[in-house]
């Protein structure tokens, strides 16, 4: 078995035009919670099945691009029991 080696990682950094102030950052850090507190940055790393992971970028928070052919975009499932079709007792 060959030894494991870490891939070379390259991250481009693009700073936000209007970063939050240190005081605002401190205020946000007082009450953390998943889906409640967000940073002004995000990491984007493209992936290609043939070549693997590409060059990453730390960039200002913004919209992300998804290929509409991806399974996550095309497979719809009911989100709750109430949204599933059911037979009505009064249906004729």
Q: What is the pLDDT of residues 3-43, one digit of tens each?
A: 655 566 778 999 988 889 999 989 988 988 888 888 889 99
Q: How far apart are CA 77 and CA 33, in angstroms?
A: 27
The tokens of 66 are what? 């998804």
CB 41 within 8 A of CB 61: yes
**Residue-level pLDDT at 3:** 62
Q: How far apart are CA 43 and CA 60, in angstroms?
A: 9
The tokens of 36 are what? 């409640």
Q: Is the model more confident about 80 or about 46?
A: 46
């Amino acid at each position: 078995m060959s030894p494991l080696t870490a891939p070379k990682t390259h991250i481009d950094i693009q700073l936000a035009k209007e970063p939050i102030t240190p005081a605002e950052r401190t205020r946000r850090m007082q009450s953390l919670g998943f889906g409640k507190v967000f940073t002004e940055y995000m990491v984007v790393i493209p992936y290609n099945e043939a070549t693997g992971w590409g060059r990453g970028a730390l960039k200002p928070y913004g919209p992300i691009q998804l290929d509409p052919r991806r399974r996550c975009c095309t497979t719809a499932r009911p989100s709750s029991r109430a949204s599933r079709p059911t037979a009505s007792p009064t249906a004729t």
